[in-house]
Structure 1
Amino acid sequence: MREPVRTPAGERLSSIMLDLFRLNSGLLTSGDRLVEGLGLTSARWQILGAIRAAERPQPVAWIARDLGANRQNVQRIVNDLANDALVRFEANPHHRRAQLVVLTDAGRQAFEAAMRLQAPWVNRLAEGVTVTEIKAAHRVMMKLQANLDEMDEAADTD
């Protein structure tokens, strides 16, 4: 049986995947260190950001979908945030069991403090990279994500 042949783009993408995984791990580790003094982790910070960015309160399943994350993992983190009074649950008029997640004042303050720390950190991280290069990388990431979503949808219908 013949091995499938990669296209030149597929070959190049395959060769950078390990670097992307390493970058993601480094971003999470650095983010954890950055917000540790606030009682946050990268994961908690990410969830607070998703809640803050939403136009209206959402249930955990919607937050997980928006982040492309596993619902059970998001639920665990949201429960931890609720235990620390950074979020609270409110009744959902559209679904009895899927409560809405809302930032508390303490949660908003923690997120804003994290973002104040993030500004100099991200500026330092971006040193030596042009805005044009960052925009090009973003376009590529979004196209890869769209392709992955399309592949996942096709697999779900099979």
Structure 2
Amino acid sequence: MPEVPADPKGQALTDLILTVFRTNNLLLLWGDRLVSSFGLTSARWQILGAIVHAERPQPVAWLARDLGANRQNVQRIVNDLHHEGLVVFAPNPHHRRAHLVVLTEKGREIYDAVIEVYTPRVNALAEEMNIDDIQVACNLMKILKFHIERDLDIIKL
């Protein structure tokens, strides 16, 4: 099996990618545990957050795009959230079939309650970290995201 890759920068990026994969798995587990008492999962919480932070109600396809997620997966989760009364579908004046996803009062209450639990936990996690390091890491992840998006255009299926 060949060494991947021989270039020192490529090897360093491979190490970063593997660390991101592992960290992502832990982050999802952490999120699942944090929100389980609210009847949520990390995925449901993430979608509720996307709805809350959107400038206006959006259709599922736009939520999926903003999250960098598969539309069908987002649709399935939004349907579950709808079934539980956390979101409703509203008519979309720009598209007859692509309804807008709107948070209900119950959905807002649950989201706000989750944030009350999240805030002290995230502050505790950040306590031993340097803010400059956090910002550098965030910027690096944004650069990596940009380059991966560009590369996806090159390696289309």
**Partners in 1 of 2:60 and 2:81 — Cα distance?**
12
Which secondary structure does the structure 1 equivalent of 2:96 belong to?
A: coil
Q: Residue 28 of structure 2 aligns with which residue? A: 28
Gap runs ≥5 in structure 2: none
1:103 is matched with: 103
Partner SS for 2:92: coil
1:59 and 1:135 map into 2 onto residues whose CA distance is 31
- Which 5+ residue runs of structure 1 have no aligned equivalent? none
Secondary structure of 1:35 counterpart = helix
Match of 1:57 in 2: 57
Counterpart position of 2:125: 125
Tell me the percent identity.
53
Measure the CA separation in 1 of the matches of 2:34 and 2:49. Answer: 15
RMSD of the alignment, in Å? 1.6
- DSSP-derived class of the 2:40 partner: coil
Opposite residue 78 of structure 2, the aligned amino acid is: V
The secondary structure found in structure 2 opposite 1:98 is strand
Query: How far, CA to CA, are the matches of 2:123 and 2:95 in structure 1?
Result: 42
Following superposition, the deviation at residue 62 of structure 1 comes to 0.2
Distance in 2 of aligned mates of 1:92 and 1:155:
34
Aligned residue for 2:155, secondary structure, equals: helix
1:128 partner amino acid: E
Aligned CA distance change for structure 1 residues 3 and 121 (closer, same or farther; 3 Å): closer
Deviation at 1:16, TM superposition (A): 3.0
**Residues 42-99 of structure 1: per-residue CA shift (max 9 Å, x gap):** 1111000000111111000000000000000000000000000000001111111111
1:134 corresponds in structure 2 to 134
Contact 2:57 2:102 in 1 (8 A): yes
Partner of 1:9: 9
Counterpart contact for 2:4–2:11, Cα < 8 Å: no
Question: May I ask how many residue pairs the two structures share in their alignment?
Answer: 156
Calculate the TM-score normalised by the size of structure 1.
0.93
Structure with the bigger RCO (C-alpha within 8 Å, sep 6+) is 1
- The Cα shift of 1:13 comes to 1.2
CA distance in 1, matches of 2:57, 2:14: 39
TM-score, normalised via structure 2 length: 0.93
Find the residue that maps to 1:111 and give its secondary structure: helix
